[in-house]
Chain A
């Protein structure tokens, strides 16, 4: 019986291959987008873990030299007096190849480089002898790395981050050409320190425990949200195809019941059939997802590298976690999509009408119930906005807003079309609107998918536009100085400033100290009193004499992130080393994940006497920038990165910004494509059901060409009406992203700007999606043989 039942059920797909293709395609695309995002996230997280595993990446305390220069002699001296230190030498060679030199015999176990990965008893002697280096396989595969390591043996260590070499410190010295120098001395956390920090050294405490994961979490959360949205849109296609299949198989199901198959067995067979299809689509989806992730990963890697200095490789690794999760999502999505149909099969009495109950013509009662559920979700979004807190509340607002409006959409469109029917004068107009209304229930899932995709496009477009407009203006303010110089040592800084003083208008030292701010790791800057700040610094709030108070050491400026996280405003008091100061201003600080405070230079030096001014902003006429740069480089043999002009910094910042949104833009476009596919799938599956409605009109004197044109116009009109609803939804989405999610995720809020061009673009996209989806069914109708239409009138139908 099982075999016969399965054969009967599967025969449906043989007769409806297009429906089967749409089901598999919808599920595969949904799985692909979800899997793609998860693969990117998994790759990035693995990269953070690898980065954190290298010498603890600031997870261990370090001793650094107060004057910035550490030598092997310092290491030897400290070891002799009992300090549990291990030397580390870091630097870069070739292009972006980081070299880390370690001393394996003194390296603390807490350095968390799992016993120097890839190093065994057979390779340790070669490592200590300075003839062997460790690097990740993908690093070793790069030609420039091979060139830089010519003559050295290599051992692949998959646990190391990309573009990182680990070598014995003596070899690192040779590679970096820094004989006798050390970058830092790592302290063994398992051993107690013999006394206070010796003179000439400073203790640099571990500050960024799991920092990358924390800082980048919001970015990954946003990606996941988009992946989920795309998945939801894909499930709409699957739901449409499965719903149609269930409806068309009602007569078969009735017959199987009549022939003695129990409802339990029937449901079991249908479930098994669905799960097999889900498995097939899931595997295809995971393979497609791998492609999506591989295509997007370079942009994601550039974004994370640019924003957070997170070393994410541009190559993808197949990981069991996201492969299994992708197949799991395909199975879950199928169960969600097939749930309604299974319940129908379960409840259907054996003598139920064998005639399809016009699945596409769902009752008005169901539409009202759906609209009520949608209104409930919108109310929930309102409550989450009013009373919720944190990022989950922000996403609850987004989910409620999107799903609520999607559920209300068919009802809204129904009302609009009913009004159009009442208002239409001509017979064709009346029929057109009435027939469009008739099609609505069958197309509502696809239109809901289109609504989500269009709203996401508008929302993200508005957010990115607002971000771009604000960010570029803000960069102009923050990067007012024409040139930025980075010295290696205080001595070099002094020499450079002496040389520059007669040649530039102003030298503005940028001094920085790490300090906890309101209980979080943060940065304190000291600035001199200069018009550059008074005229340009982007203050969101300020007291009347803000700059005078800062200059006199009577007030502190804080960034928006700190203001929001610690709930500090004008007049609040901020605790700082050396005494608290009142907040006299709040400045915007986009892109910076850390709390930041700014005090006057004198106040800064009093609070952080060991901090050195190694960085300087220079004010000079723009025309002199090129000459001064050239001369400065020649005079002090400055490295490439030691001298940066304003244009380069802006260009880099904007490039990071653009690549950040290139990823969301690509996901957006894919989601829109999926929505168009959903419409196409629905229209194609509905086209057979449409014939009995169209054939009489054809018989009464409308040509197939005209009917096809009207059908095409109908799809366009529905898509455009959906765009009308999507526009305010998209703007609301942008507002929530800017005013709620961004604030919770990044700690700063951007002013929202509305771009009329985006609205035009959205309507164009809706027209393209509707047009492309409507074209094929319209052509199909136009080319149908009269015999197909005549069959509608056949008496033995």
Chain B
């Protein structure tokens, strides 16, 4: 499902280029869940952004669902995200102008794979059914994150990339949202790569890798 080979990434700063990833390799098979842990600034989010094609690698190769990202242009990477990947961010990043129902189905409709029944099941499972007509600003943080998870799962993507998905939630809400997400990822048959700094949450996934100073720790 996912293969990263010697992926390198650096960013320009006032002091010159700073290497964020110094040759990261990892793989993920279909249906597997993997936690990528590490301290702040270790490059966890950068890995996720590169896999999603939101940013370009300096070196190495990333293959998602059999497609090498290096061979894709901007439009190709956008299509890959739309069709094969679901993204969940810590900041939720819902679309403020759309109500919950429209936010939930947004990516699925973009990808042309809107399944009303599946979306309804997601809404029910995430406890969003009574909130469908509300707008993001009218929801709590936990509710917003559940919408973001539902939005990512609605198109039944092959790969879910989650970046600190419960980072903005308290421990109780975090556990509940995590349980829901794992159950639904399994139900959708998707793979999950989750970035987190929480060892407790990482332990709930199939595998875990630690990133330190831009490298996977053995």
A residues adjacent to B (C-beta < 8 A)? 361, 426-428, 430-431, 434-435, 437-438, 692-693, 695-705, 786-787, 789-790, 792-797
Contacts and interface: CB of A to CB of B under 8 A. Distances in A.
Interface in B97-130: 97-98, 102, 105-107, 109-111, 114
Contact of B82 (A693, A701, A795): A701
Contacts of B40: 796
Contacts of B79: 701
Contacts of A789: 54
B91 A795 contact: yes
Contact of B110 (A434, A695, A702, A794): A702
Contacts of B94: 696
Given A434-B98, A438-B97, A795-B45, A700 B106 contact: yes
B102 to A, nearest CB: 6
- Please provide the 10 A-B residue pairs with the shortest distance between their CB atoms, ordered closest to farther: A701-B82, A427-B109, A438-B97, A434-B97, A696-B93, A701-B81, A703-B78, A795-B90, A700-B107, A435-B97
B91 A699 contact: no
B75 interface: yes
B87 A703 contact: no
A434 B136 CA distance: 13
B169 interface: no
B2 interface: no
A431 B107 CA distance: 11
Given A434-B97, A795-B91, A790 B164 contact: no
B95 A435 contact: yes
By secondary structure, the A interface counts as helix
B102 A434 contact: yes
A427 B110 contact: yes
Given A438-B97, A696-B94, A797-B91, 20 more contacts: A427-B102, A428-B110, A431-B95, A431-B98, A434-B95, A434-B97, A435-B95, A696-B89, A699-B52, A699-B93, A701-B83, A702-B110, A703-B74, A787-B55, A789-B54, A790-B49, A793-B89, A793-B90, A793-B163, A795-B90
Contacts of A701: 78-83, 107, 110-111
A39 to B, nearest CB: 46
Contacts of A797: 91
Contacts of A434: 95, 97-98, 102
Interface in B123-169: 163-164, 167
10 contacts: A438-B97, A697-B95, A699-B81, A701-B78, A701-B83, A701-B107, A786-B55, A790-B55, A792-B93, A793-B93
B20 to A, nearest CB: 11
A431 B97 contact: yes
Given A428-B110, A703-B78, A705-B74, A793 B91 contact: yes
B75 A703 contact: yes
A699 B74 CA distance: 12
A797 B98 CA distance: 23
A428 B83 CA distance: 16
A431 B106 contact: yes
Contact of B54 (A437, A692, A786, A795): A786
Given A699-B52, A701-B107, A704-B74, A793 B97 contact: no
Contact of A695 (B56, B74, B78, B93): B93
A437 B97 contact: yes
A701 B81 CA distance: 5
Given A431-B106, A793-B163, A795-B167, A693 B97 contact: yes
Nearest to B95: A696
A699 B106 contact: no
A117 B56 CA distance: 81
- Most B CB within 10 A of own CB, among A696, A697, A790: A696
A702 B74 CA distance: 9
Contacts of A695: 93
A424 to B, nearest CB: 10
Contacts of A705: 74
B106 to A, nearest CB: 6
B74 A700 contact: no
A698 B55 CA distance: 12
B52 A792 contact: no
Nearest to A427: B109
Nearest to B76: A703
B102 A430 contact: yes
Nearest to A697: B95
Contacts of B83: 701
A633 B143 CA distance: 96
Contacts of B107: 700-701
A634 B126 CA distance: 104
- Most A CB within 10 A of own CB, among B11, B55, B91, B109: B91
A692 B83 CA distance: 22
A796 B164 CA distance: 11
A787 B90 CA distance: 17
A699 B87 contact: yes
B93 to A, nearest CB: 4
A427 B90 contact: no
Contacts of A702: 78, 82, 110
Given A703-B78, A704-B74, A794 B45 contact: yes
Interface in B156-185: 163-164, 167
Contacts of A693: 95-97
Given A693-B96, A703-B75, A792 B91 contact: yes
A699 B54 contact: yes
Given A787-B11, A790-B55, A430 B98 contact: yes
Contacts of B114: 427
A795 B96 contact: no
A700 B54 contact: no
Contact of A700 (B82, B90, B98, B164): B82
A792 B87 CA distance: 13
A438 B96 contact: yes
A796 B91 CA distance: 10
A701 B56 CA distance: 15
A430 B95 CA distance: 12
Contacts of A796: 40
Contact of A795 (B11, B56, B110, B163): B163
Contacts of A792: 91, 93
Contacts of B56: 786
Contacts of B106: 427, 431, 700
A438 B40 CA distance: 34
Nearest to A786: B55
B54 A427 contact: no
A488 B52 CA distance: 94
A692 B92 CA distance: 11
Nearest to A797: B91
A79 to B, nearest CB: 90
Contacts of A438: 96-97
Contacts of A700: 81-82, 87, 106-107, 110
Nearest to A796: B40
Contacts of B163: 793, 795
A426 B109 CA distance: 8
A789 B83 CA distance: 20
A438 B79 CA distance: 26
A783 to B, nearest CB: 12
A689 B106 CA distance: 22
A692 B93 CA distance: 7
A548 to B, nearest CB: 75
Contacts of A361: 96
A300 B13 CA distance: 59
A790 B52 CA distance: 11
- Most A CB within 10 A of own CB, among B90, B96, B111: B96
Interface in B36-63: 40, 45, 49, 52, 54-56
Nearest to A696: B93
A692 B102 CA distance: 18
Nearest to B107: A700
A116 B87 CA distance: 88
Contacts of B167: 795
Contacts of A437: 97
